[in-house]
Amino acid sequence: MICNIFLLGIFSCYLSKKNAVPMNLSVLVEGIKSQTNQGAKQYFTILLIKKTLFIVNLVAMQGLMGVQSLITACLSGVFSCYFYIIKPFKNNFENIKIIITEMLIVLNLLIFSLYEILKQNQDKEQAERLGWINICGFTLILLTTLSIDIYQQFLQYKELVISKVSICLRISRMKTQQSRILFF
């Protein structure tokens, strides 16, 4: 914990003093939209803060699953608001993917909190239904991020595939035309 706070302080001070990230540290901010924008430069610091608070939440609230879920939902909600406002990545699909993922996590964690309340009230049937809804919610998160990644990859390689296929079709058309000329 102390190490995380120390690293947060170092990263935050270092990045706030610099106008641009030096080349030897550029791998840390690869894909970040504007290395001069403080909000975008601080993305990794904010991510480290989120992860640290998540771990503190898990350790401090071990016996209170519903409270853990609510606090984690709040963390994810604040993080998604940061992404909505700052949009730190150059690739807008990555920004959208993280916003959608964080909002689905918030929704799923709220459902899990309801599940914990119903489980404590001995309403097993309703808790079981919410448990299945929770499982479907996490599956939806995985499918959503996977579909965004597949769509992004499709757009990236669409032109390349189309050009390769058209080159292959032209070659095969030319061969069939040449073979017809030879036989006639």
The parent domain of residue 3 ranges over 1-60
pLDDT tens, position by position, 24-54: 555 455 556 555 556 566 777 788 888 888 8
Structural domain ending residue among the three candidates 41, 60, 79: 60
Contact status, residue 21 vs residue 29, Cβ threshold 8 Å: yes
Please tell me whether residues 68 and 149 are part of one structural domain. Answer: yes
Please tell me whether residues 48 and 5 are part of one structural domain. Answer: yes
Range of lowest pLDDT (29-43, 62-76, 86-100, 103-117): 29-43
- Give the Å distances, CA to CA, from 5 to 10, 21, 72, 91, 93: 9, 21, 19, 30, 31
Residue 143 — very low, low, confident or very high, per pLDDT cuts 50/70/90? very high
Please tell me whether residues 115 and 140 are part of one structural domain. Answer: yes
Contact status, residue 97 vs residue 145, Cβ threshold 8 Å: yes
Contact status, residue 148 vs residue 100, Cβ threshold 8 Å: yes
Please tell me whether residues 33 and 92 are part of one structural domain. Answer: no
Please tell me whether residues 53 and 127 are part of one structural domain. Answer: no
Write down the pTM of the prediction: 0.66
Structure tokens at 183: 């036989």
Nearby residues of 108 by Cβ (< 8 Å), 6 or more positions away: 134, 137, 138, 141
Q: What's the total number of domains in the chain?
A: 2
Please tell me whether residues 53 and 115 are part of one structural domain. Answer: no
Please tell me whether residues 69 and 133 are part of one structural domain. Answer: yes
| 179, part of any domain | no
Please tell me whether residues 35 and 85 are part of one structural domain. Answer: no
| 107, part of any domain | yes
Please tell me whether residues 32 and 74 are part of one structural domain. Answer: no
Please tell me whether residues 136 and 80 are part of one structural domain. Answer: yes
